[in-house]
Structures are given as structure tokens and as C-alpha cells.
Amino acid sequence: MLKSQRADGRGHWPAGKPRSSVTDAQAARCINRIEAACKATSMRQVATLLGISDVNVGMLRKGRRRPSDATYATVMNVLRPY
């Protein structure tokens, strides 16, 4: 396990800095597109198309994870028909 290099031991990511520049509206569009694709095919096939794990797709669908900039771009390009 990595030990924090910060003196306060709070980890490596600066407090208050967003990990992604994806807005709430963009995240909602991304999740809606993933939901539509999962209705048309299986979650595993959607994950394969996107190049991410099916667990990650599930977490995105449930709102437990926000899409990264790269995931957002991939979803919007690859799942365009949905």
C-alpha cells in the first residue's frame, strides 16, 4: 500500500481539486447513454465496447463513480447511436 507523502497524511490528491472536469449535466448525459446501451445489450458488452470493466460500468450506472474525462469522451463517441 502506498504511504502518503503529505505531512497531514490525507493522501496524494490535493483537497478540493476535482478529479474530473466533467460537469453534472455531462455526467448525467453519459450515464443516460450507458443506461440506454445496457438496455439494448448486456452490461458486459457495453464495458467491452468502452474498454472498461463491467464493475466500473455498474458503478457509473448506480452513481457511485463519476466518469473521468477519458471515459466521458469514450462513452459519447462509442455509444453515439444510443
| Count of structural domains, the chain | 1
Q: 54 with 43: CB under 8 angstroms? A: yes
Q: How far apart are CA 67 and CA 77, in angstroms?
A: 14
Residue 23 has pLDDT above 60, yes or no: yes
C-alpha cell at 62: 448506480
42 within domain boundaries: yes
Task: Tell me what pLDDT residue 81 has.
Answer: 86
9 within domain boundaries: no
2 within domain boundaries: no
19 within domain boundaries: no
Confidence band of 21 (pLDDT split at 50, 70, 90)? confident
* pTM of the entire predicted model: 0.76
8 within domain boundaries: no
72 within domain boundaries: yes
Give residue 48's domain range: 24-78
38 within domain boundaries: yes
No. of H helices and E strands in the chain? 4, 0
Residue range 33-79, pLDDT digits in tens:
999 999 999 999 999 999 999 999 999 999 999 999 999 999 999 99
